Amino acid sequence: MRIVALQGSPRAESNTQAVLDMVLDGARQAGAQTETVRLIELEDFRGCMECFGCQGVADKPDCQVEDDMLGVLGKLMKADVIVWATPVFCWSPAWPLKMAMDRFFCMFKFQEDGQIRSLVEGRRMAAVVTAGGKETDGADLVQEICRRLVEFSRCKWEGTFVAAEVKDLESIRKDAALAGRARAFGKKLAS
């Protein structure tokens, strides 16, 4: 069982990373292998250029933007579970995760018969979201964006772990109830 998480916070001391660590800790305790890609740490990371070059090949991502995201797409192809992790930025995923979602578009192949083939069909996907506000202040919309992406990918939606009204790293690390909920979510992902 291999879980690959894409973490989209732009800051080094990240609330989202702290919560994701708790989730993945639970998954590892249940026997999963986990890997986190901190998108902001990729040296060369660019957005989708809408060239549609990926559509020339049916059985591999073949994104034409030659940067470090190509290696990440390769990791996602081999994952059993993909986790999309992000803070809420203005009712949306933070920009590094949004960029990764756009680059994920090369996993979809738009066929001549009108059908869309997904290279990751049947995988499992989940989201981890942190928010300064209440769940209804944007985390709900981010969950819906992730859920739609999962549906379009023809993957199995494992749900979202939401940490709403979070303050700082210190208070997150002290929150035993949050850690317990997060580890239980991770355990579910590993099952």
Ligand X SMILES: Cc1cc2nc3c(=O)[nH]c(=O)nc-3n(C[C@H](O)[C@H](O)[C@H](O)COP(=O)(O)O)c2cc1C
Beta carbons of 46 and 104 less than 8 angstroms apart: no
Q: Give the nearer residue to ligand X in terms of CB position, either 14 or 153.
A: 14
- Token pair, residue 90, equals 């203005």
Nearer to ligand X, 122 or 133 (CB): 133
Element (H, E) at 81: strand 81-89
Quote the least distance from Cβ 152 to ligand X, whole Å: 24
Whichever of 76 and 88 has its CB closer to ligand X, that residue is 88
Which residue's C-beta sits nearest to ligand X?
133
| Shortest distance in whole angstroms from residue 175 CB to ligand X | 13
- Check: CB of residue 96 under 8 Å from CB of residue 37: no
Query: Applying CB under 6 A, which residues contact ligand X?
Result: 9, 11, 14-16, 87-91, 130-133, 137-139, 166
In this structure, are residues 87 and 9 in contact, taking their beta carbons and an 8 Å threshold? yes
In angstroms, give the least distance from the CB of 128 to ligand X: 10
Q: Output 166 or 189, the one with its CB closest to ligand X.
A: 166
What is residue 97's three-state secondary structure? helix
Helix (H) or strand (E) holding 22: helix 15-29
For residue 144, the minimal CB distance to ligand X (Å) is 14
